[in-house]
Each structure stands twice: as C-alpha cells, then as structure tokens.
Structure 1
Amino acid sequence: MAGERPSQLVLVVDVSPVHWGRLNAAAEESLSFTRCVENVCVFLNAFMMINDGNKIAVLASHPLENRFVYPTSNVPSDGVRYELFAALDKAVVDGMKAMAQKLTLHENVIADGSPSLMAGSLAKALCYINRTTQAGGQLQSRILIVKVSPDAPAQYMATMNCIFGAQKNGIPIDACIIGPDSGFLQQASDLTGGMYLRVPEPKALLQYLMWVFLPDASIRNTLVFPSRALVDYRAACFCHRKLVEVGFVCSVCLSIFCQFNPVCLTCNSRFRVPGLGAAKGKKKNVT
C-alpha cells in the first residue's frame, strides 16, 4: 500500500533438474520446473504491485553454482513500474533455464544427485541485503527459499552461521518446501521469525505463495496461516556430517561428534577417555 513502509525480498529458487525430475517421477500429477518458474514470476509481479517502493532480487541455486538472475547489469531494477514486469519475467525465466541446462552438462553431478548449494545462496542473499542497507536503503528485508532438493549435512555449519547472521540482523527467512522436509530451514524459520511450509499440493504452488509468503512479516500476526510444523533441531556431526540426536560436544569449541574422540578434530583439545578416572592409591590400614 502507498502509506506502508516498502519491503525488499530476496528469492532463492532451487533449480536442480535432478530433484525436479525425481519430484515429477514420484507423482503423476506434480509440478514441473517450467510451471514453478511461471508461478514464481506471477508471485514476484504481485509483490512489486503491493508497494511502489518494493525491491526484489532473485537467486538461482543448483549443486555447482549460485547466481543472481535478477537484477543483472543488462536488466535495470528501477524504472517505470509496470514496464519492468516484462523485463523481470524474461530475466528470471531465461536465467533459471540457463542454470538448469548448464548443470545437465555435468553427468557426475546428475548421477550423484547432489543437493543444491543452499548455504551459499543464503550467504549471497545476506550480503546483498547488507549492501543495499549500507547504500542507504530503508527497507524491510526478508529471504524466501523455494526448495526441492534434500538437506546436505556437509553444509550444516555454513547454513547455521547464515541463520545466526540473519537472526542478529532481524532478517526473516521463509521456506517454501516442495520436496522432502528440510530440518535446516525449519530451524532457520523458527529462529528468525519466518514462515516454514511444506506445500501439500505442489500444483497449487501459486496459491500458497500468495497466501503464506506474499504478506510482510509485520502484518502476519493479523492473518491466519497453516499451523507450524514441529522443528527438527538435530545437528550434523563434524566428523561424518550425519544428523544426530545424541552426540559428543567439545567443551572448548562446541563441535559435535557422533562418536567419542580423544582429541577434538576442530580445536585439538584433549579429553579423558570415558570410564577411566584418575588413578587412586591404595589406602593403608592403620593399626
């Protein structure tokens, strides 16, 4: 609305063709990647129309690269409002399709089915928000992630660092999950005050984007949303990158391990082996 404070949205879209293909293979009537991009463009246009001062940035993410597809050097982010919609749609569609097609050239990644680099996407999104803030932008910023690939335990530390950075700077992280549940993004949404939703009907993606993720965080308390899912707070161990419920924690650097190590693999602190106490001398009988 004209009198409301403008917002800035950084959208991260998972464009991994491997996991989009698995999603379509799992259900006869599912959401195609092309249809997802079309829904995203409609959502972005709606966000831009809410307020003349709203700004957007779009990141495409796959297992090899993260790249801004909007704004780019040849696509302006400012200008006559409604004339930007066509340029925005073309930049997003062309950029995401180019990213997906580039990945198909790497057969080893296709066969492996590696998850997308979501930690890198979060880091780039936070840097972009910080840069626009330093440039004097008085915008309410938030991040929205549309994700189809599973979590990568190897990205746990980098992801958590980004989450804590967003929490400290008051940047909500919203998560729209089309594939398997994401424990990392559940924690991100819970810690930063964002929304987490695993879309029950992927073909209705646009309706869920408009209903849940279009309103700003400042007015969400007045609206009715789906009930929050239970947050999976399992951490990934530093030794094997596995998610663990119970593990060993270094008392010096707080690194987590799934099995006992006499020496911390992170800070090289030494620990006493469990069950072996200090040697005690025998007590002499006094007669």
Structure 2
Amino acid sequence: MILIGLIDPNIENWQKQENPDKLFSNTLFYFHTFLSLDRSNRILLLNDKKIVFDSDTAKLTEIKDILSKFKSQNLSNDLGMSLLLSKRLNLETQIFIENFDKNLDHFKILRCLFTANKLNIQINVVSDNKLLMMLANFTNGIFYENDSFFVKILGNPSKQLINIETRCFCHDKIILVGLTCPVCLTVYCGFMPVCKKCKSKMIFNKN
C-alpha cells in the first residue's frame, strides 16, 4: 500500500497547536507503524506538486529537515497531484493530511473530494478545518482536530505490542521476541551489530 502524506510545513501553524512536538513525534510513529505492517508499504510526501520524500530512498528521521525547506503548502494542488499519482501508480493508496491552514481553496478541495470517491481512496485527516473534516467523512476516512487521531488509528500501544504480528527485517518472518534498532526501530530476529536499514551501530549493555 502507498500512503501519500500532505504535511503542513508552516512553522507558525504548528506552533499554534497544543503540543506541536508531541504531535509531530506521533506523526513519525504513525508512519513507522504503517511501514512495519508490510515490507511492501511505502510512504510518499508531496509539496509543490512534487515528491519530496520517499520511504524507499530516505529515512523517516529526515522528514523534519525536508519540511523545513518549505514555508507553506498549496493543499488543493498537492491533493490533486496525490490523486493523479495514485491513478498512475495503480496501487492501493491512502492519503494522510495534516494541515492547520485556515485559507484553503474550497472549490478545488471539493473537486478532489469527488475524485477521491470515484477512485475509492480513503483520506485521513488531522486538522481543525471543517472543510477537511468533510473530506475525511465523505471518503470514509478518520478526522480529528488533534493528537486523538493517532490513538484512534493506532489504538492502545501496549495492546499493539502484544497483538500485532511483527516481522523481522532480515528474514521477513513473524517473531515474538526480537532486536530493535534504537534509531529507525527496525526489528531483527537475531544479533545484528549494524542495522542494515539505517547503518547505525547497535549498542548493548554488557551487564
């Protein structure tokens, strides 16, 4: 599955949120969880009608620096590009919008709503904009104004650790106990001195 993310890069909009650091941290956790559910899953972030992040070639930890290069986002244009990209890729796609801009192009957003319905694409939204709430509702997506989105879509983290099947990165097999990279959170079924995904050295207690 492809998850296309449209993340508001405007720092002022983020600073108006109750806990922007926690919100962004949970966004990255959501992305990591999505990738860990299936090795074929892929995340693309768009801005200015271009792919600015691809999880196949970059790390999630790079997202903050990538977003800092942009001052704003034309959401309606990028949403339209997301739908076009989904049609071109011809793969199961979801769209994730995290946007706190009050000045959106209503007409273009509504056109995207009908197109998303036609393509059967679910759009999940974190925003305080009622127009985007409509977008999520009409595409059978999830809408929340704040951090509650991640509780809704990910559930109780402690329950997830018990109930969700985890596959190791090295052999793609289901495991109950494994070794986790402290940097990118990639899971291995056995000893691994250097993470194969992010190339970080594993640190172990000798006690």
Give yes or no for contact 2:121–2:139 (8 Å, CA) kept in 1.
Answer: yes
Matched, 1:55 2:15: no
Cα pair distance change 1:35/1:95, threshold 3 Å: farther
Aligned structure 1 segments of 4 or more residues deviating by more than 6 angstroms: none
Match of 2:11 among 11, 14, 17: 17
* Shift in CA distance, 151/213, structure 1 to aligned 2, threshold 3 Å: farther
TM-score, L = length of structure 2: 0.65
Amino acid at match of 1:168: K
Asked if the contact 2:99/2:126 (under 8 Å) is kept, the reply is: yes
The amino acid of 2:136's aligned partner reads S
Which structure 2 segments of 5+ residues have no match?
A: 156-207
| Distance verdict in 2 for CA 1:57–1:50, change over 3 Å | same
Q: Is the 8 A contact 2:143 2:149 kept in 1?
A: no
Partner of 1:148: 100
Aligned residues: 155
1:40 offset after TM fit, Å?
Answer: 2.1
In structure 1, the gaps of 5 or more residues are 1-6, 25-29, 78-83, 104-115, 200-204, 216-287
SS of equivalent residue, structure 2 residue 68: helix
Q: CA deviation at 1:35?
A: 5.0
- Answering whether residue 69 of structure 2 is matched by residue 98 of structure 1, we say yes
CA distance in 1, matches of 2:51, 2:24: 15
Structure 1 counterpart of 2:135: 188
What residue is the counterpart of 1:208 in the other structure?
149
In the TM superposition, 1:151-170 aligns within 5 A as 151-152=103-104, 155-170=105-120
Counterpart Cα distance in 1 of 2:60 and 2:53: 9
* CA 99–35 in structure 1, closer or farther in 2 if over 3 Å, else same: farther
Quote the Cα distance in structure 2 between the aligned partners of 1:43 and 1:198: 16
The AA in structure 2 aligned to 1:167 is: N
Q: Does 1:42 align with 2:29?
A: yes
Matches within 5 A, 1:181-260: 181-199=128-146, 205=147, 208-209=149-150, 211-214=151-154
**For residue 55 of structure 1, what is the amino acid of its counterpart?**
R
